[in-house]
């Protein structure tokens, strides 16, 4: 494949117009259209639906796009190794991240990142489902799970601390639990399928307590809000409930039985000898922002 043709195709995909892509590349629309047609002919596939004003990707075009961008990234890395090419990170950066964490801690900080790297365009998918980075064409992903695939590299972002919480109103009505066994007499709120809560006892022993939730929601922020509303006791990540704990809307419970979490926040990316500049600066930015002690844990009223 010719890198000029790949660059033209990617610009058409991103700008949605052959004429706009031609202007971006300083060529005529007729030349751009002819080059695209020749590229499609060589590939034996139609990549773009053309109308008078718009250009949209076909199914084959959508399948090719992430690979075309990846090839252009590799070319940029090679040029950078020779001291050539763009001096600043640029291009489309595809990111996958958990929904609540992205909404609370990544998206609000993106103005800082985009101001620092204005030539990087962001394409983010937020979902609690684990996506296939290669098949989905993602450059990086933020995950809770430990890395179990040697084809990827992981960098630690932050510990994923958990705390048992309830609202003052709920505790006034139902009292404080004194041990994990007391949870049997309380309304418990679960995030998704996480109803096995693990604690460390006073003598260092591990206590695994399976609760019978009175409410189960597959979204951490919704469970946190339900706890604030006085619906019961919840096991929450501190990154999700930090503000409510600071404001006193939620109260930490069972200080003598701290919760045990084996999860860690990671940023993962496909293994490669060289990272595209846009990927490297985003990973470094995440590590700088969240580690080694995440800002949401500082000064929390959690024992």
Residue at token pair 């109308």 = 51
Residues making up the chain, counted from first to last: 303
Residue 301: its pLDDT value, please? Answer: 72
The dihedrals phi and psi of 56, each to the nearest 5 degrees, come to -120, 150
Domains in the chain with CATH codes = 3-62 (1.10.10.10), 91-160+263-297 (3.40.190.10), 162-252 (3.40.190.290)
User: Which helix H or strand E contains 199, and what residues bound it?
Assistant: strand 196-200
Q: Is 54 left (phi over 0), alpha (psi -120 to 50) or beta?
A: beta
All residue ranges of the chain with pLDDT < 50 are 303
Residue 86: its pLDDT value, please? Answer: 53
Q: How far apart are CA 234 and CA 188, in angstroms?
A: 6
User: Which helix H or strand E contains 237, and what residues bound it?
Assistant: strand 233-237
User: Which helix H or strand E contains 298, and what residues bound it?
Assistant: none
Residue 172: its pLDDT value, please? Answer: 96
Residue 276's SS3 state is: coil
Q: How far apart are CA 132 and CA 145, in angstroms?
A: 14
pTM over cut 0.75: no
Could you tell me the maximum CA-CA distance found in the chain, to the nearest angstrom? 77
Residue 1: its pLDDT value, please? Answer: 67
């Amino acid at each position: 494949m010719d890198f000029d043709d790949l660059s033209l195709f990617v610009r058409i995909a991103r700008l949605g117009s052959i004429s706009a892509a031609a202007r971006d590349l300083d060529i005529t629309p007729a030349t751009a259209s002819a080059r695209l047609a020749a590229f499609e002919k060589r590939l034996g596939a139609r990549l773009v639906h053309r109308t008078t004003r718009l250009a949209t990707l076909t199914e084959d075009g959508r399948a090719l796009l992430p690979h075309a961008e990846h090839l252009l990234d590799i070319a940029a890395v090679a040029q950078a190794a020779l001291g050539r090419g763009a001096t600043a990170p640029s291009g489309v950066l595809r990111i996958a991240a958990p929904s609540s964490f992205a909404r609370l801690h990544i998206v609000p900080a993106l103005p800082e990142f985009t101001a620092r790297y204005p030539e990087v365009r962001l394409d983010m998918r937020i979902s609690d489902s684990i996506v296939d980075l290669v098949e989905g064409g993602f450059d990086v992903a933020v995950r809770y799970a430990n890395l179990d695939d040697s084809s990827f590299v992981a960098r630690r972002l932050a510990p994923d601390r958990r705390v048992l919480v309830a609202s003052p109103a709920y505790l006034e009505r139902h009292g404080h639990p004194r041990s994990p066994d007391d949870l049997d007499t309380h309304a418990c709120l679960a995030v998704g399928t996480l109803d096995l809560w693990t604690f460390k006892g006073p003598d260092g022993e591990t206590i695994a307590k399976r609760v019978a939730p009175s409410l189960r929601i597959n979204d951490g922020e919704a469970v946190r809000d339900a706890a604030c509303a006085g619906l019961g006791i919840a096991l929450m990540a501190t990154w999700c409930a930090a503000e409510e704990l600071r404001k006193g809307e939620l109260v930490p419970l069972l200080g003598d039985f701290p919760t045990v979490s084996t999860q860690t926040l990671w940023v993962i990316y496909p293994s490669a000898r060289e990272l595209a500049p846009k990927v490297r600066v985003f990973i470094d930015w995440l590590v700088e922002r969240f580690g080694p002690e995440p800002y949401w844990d500082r000064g929390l009223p959690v024992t």
